[in-house]
Chain A
Amino acid sequence: MQSHTKTKQTKLLSVIGDEDTVCGFLLAGIGEVSQNKETNYFIVKKDTPVSAIEETFKRFTSREDIAVVIINQFVAEKIRELVHSYRAPIPAVLEIPSKDQPYDLSQDSTVKRVRQMLGLGA
């Protein structure tokens, strides 16, 4: 019942988060700047408006060449509604802890859904 097909297409990872998180992942080598100066990372500073985060999230999740959106939990918290209503399989949205905000796994949209399903199924 299982078949494998290889596709040559490669996609990027993208980050939305505070400066340190973004820096770290850039250090790991996920950053890419396209020819028209479009980046696959977005640094959220203290004074970054929520609308800008929302706009970036929407842009990243609708980009064809992005497979994973890594987002700091505190950033995701700011646009929780948007993240929670996001259901498409690709790109996958992953929430990760940030340096100076406490990390609460149970706030994660996916974890919430998983918990809900396990709770319903049990």
Chain B
Amino acid sequence: MASSGGGGGDRLQVVPSRMTLTQIKGRLSGANKGHSMLKKKSDALTVRLRSILKQVLERKNQSGDLCREALISLAVAKYIVGEEFKVHILENVDKSSLKVSFHSENIAGVTIPLFDKVSMDQDSTEEYEKDTNDGGGVSNQGLSNHQFHSFVSLSGLSKGGQQIATCSENFRKAADNLISLAELQTCFTLLDEAVKVTNRRVNALENVVIPRLENTVAYIISELDELEREEFFRLKLVQNWKERESKSAQEERERLERTSQGFSSFESVPQRVVDGLTLNEEDSDIIF
């Protein structure tokens, strides 16, 4: 297929016809619609991503502070209770009482898992792990008698139990914070990826698919125009030719009529032989 068609550049290899033109135009409008929709999606995702970016930084700072605080309280607890309580903790690990569950949210077609903290109260080895952060706070009053005694028995010092409770509380807070931070970070990672993919698609449509289709449309149109011009020219040519033909036939007839008036009919026979085109009309004339 000749590349002399309209638009030059990159285009699809198609047969230039009215039918393919309609097909390509349909595809072009589809691509345009897809482009605008994807653009909107990308915008929506970017807006969300930007708000998350800020939150991530804020949370990072916050969780850093909380962790530091928790570590200080651990140091205090260690100072009061003694190093060995760590051994107790490490030995008594069994089942996790702080877990995360998920529910998903849909942002412009991107599914994002949101983390929910799940605290499981269990009366197993680690009683000091009980959820103590429901309002009662750090003080003894916030803890049940049973729990408090377990701290005391663990440490052997009443003050120590309190310190461990504080420490546990602080680490719980830190863990809560970290869970929400993890949620944001997951969100961030997913959205980042989704934005990239969407932008890639938008760009592909904008810079490759749509120009190619446009070029193809232009090519088909120019090719059809050319066919039309050719057709027109051919029509004109035939018309001219026919006109000339009928004119010469007319002249011939007139001439024949004029000559047949003066001469006898058989004298025009050589004329008939010479000009084959006039033969039929001559014949019909004779028949008439």
Q: Which of B26-34, B53-61, B204-212, B259-267 contacts A (4 or more CB under 8 A)?
A: B53-61
Residue of A nearest to B172 (CB): A28
- Please tell me which one of the listed residues B68, B100, B181 contacts residue A67 in the complex, with CB atoms under 8 A apart: B100
Task: Establish whether residues B90 and A23, one from each chain, have CB atoms under 8 Å apart when the complex forms.
Answer: yes
* CB contact list, B45-100 vs A, under 8 A: 49-50, 53, 56-57, 60-61, 63-64, 67-68, 70-71, 74-75, 78, 86, 89-90, 93-100
Of A39, A97, A111, the most chain B CB neighbours within 10 A belong to: A97
Name B's interface SS.
helix
A105–B90 alpha-carbon span in the complex (Å): 29
Task: Establish whether residues B98 and A5, one from each chain, have CB atoms under 8 Å apart when the complex forms.
Answer: no
Task: Establish whether residues B115 and A67, one from each chain, have CB atoms under 8 Å apart when the complex forms.
Answer: yes
Task: Establish whether residues A111 and B60, one from each chain, have CB atoms under 8 Å apart when the complex forms.
Answer: yes
Task: Establish whether residues A4 and B105, one from each chain, have CB atoms under 8 Å apart when the complex forms.
Answer: yes
- Please tell me which one of the listed residues A3, A30, A68, A99 contacts residue B182 in the complex, with CB atoms under 8 A apart: A68
A8–B186 alpha-carbon span in the complex (Å): 19
A22–B87 alpha-carbon span in the complex (Å): 12
Task: Establish whether residues A103 and B71, one from each chain, have CB atoms under 8 Å apart when the complex forms.
Answer: no
Residues of B within 8 A of A91 (CB): 182
Residue of B nearest to A11 (CB): B100
Task: Establish whether residues B185 and A92, one from each chain, have CB atoms under 8 Å apart when the complex forms.
Answer: yes
Residue of A nearest to B191 (CB): A89
CB of B280 closer than 8 Å to a CB of A? no
Task: Establish whether residues B96 and A2, one from each chain, have CB atoms under 8 Å apart when the complex forms.
Answer: no
Residues of A within 8 A of B167 (CB): 24, 27
Task: Establish whether residues B98 and A28, one from each chain, have CB atoms under 8 Å apart when the complex forms.
Answer: yes
Shortest Cβ gap from A11 to chain B (Å): 5
Task: Establish whether residues A117 and B60, one from each chain, have CB atoms under 8 Å apart when the complex forms.
Answer: no
Task: Establish whether residues B182 and A27, one from each chain, have CB atoms under 8 Å apart when the complex forms.
Answer: no
* A-side interface size class: 35 or more
Known A27-B164, A29-B129; contact A20-B57, beta-carbon cutoff 8 A: no
Task: Establish whether residues A26 and B89, one from each chain, have CB atoms under 8 Å apart when the complex forms.
Answer: yes
Residue of B nearest to A20 (CB): B74
* CB contact list, A70-117 vs B, under 8 A: 70, 87-94, 96-99, 103, 105, 108, 110-111, 113-114, 117
Known A2-B107, A110-B185, A114-B56; contact A30-B98, beta-carbon cutoff 8 A: yes
A89–B70 alpha-carbon span in the complex (Å): 27
Residues of B within 8 A of A2 (CB): 105-107
Residue of B nearest to A103 (CB): B64
Known A24-B70, A110-B56, A114-B57; contact A33-B106, beta-carbon cutoff 8 A: no
In the assembled complex, 20 residue pairs joining A and B whose CB atoms fall closer than 8 Å, in A order, are A1-B108, A9-B101, A9-B102, A21-B71, A24-B74, A26-B93, A27-B89, A28-B129, A28-B168, A28-B174, A33-B94, A41-B93, A67-B102, A68-B115, A68-B182, A87-B193, A89-B113, A97-B67, A99-B75, A103-B68
9 closest Cβ pairs, A-B complex: A29-B129, A28-B171, A29-B97, A32-B96, A92-B182, A31-B93, A10-B99, A89-B189, A24-B171
- Assuming A4-B105, A23-B74, A29-B129, what are 12 further A-B pairs, CB within 8 angstroms? A2-B105, A2-B106, A25-B175, A27-B167, A27-B171, A28-B172, A33-B95, A41-B93, A89-B186, A90-B113, A92-B181, A92-B182
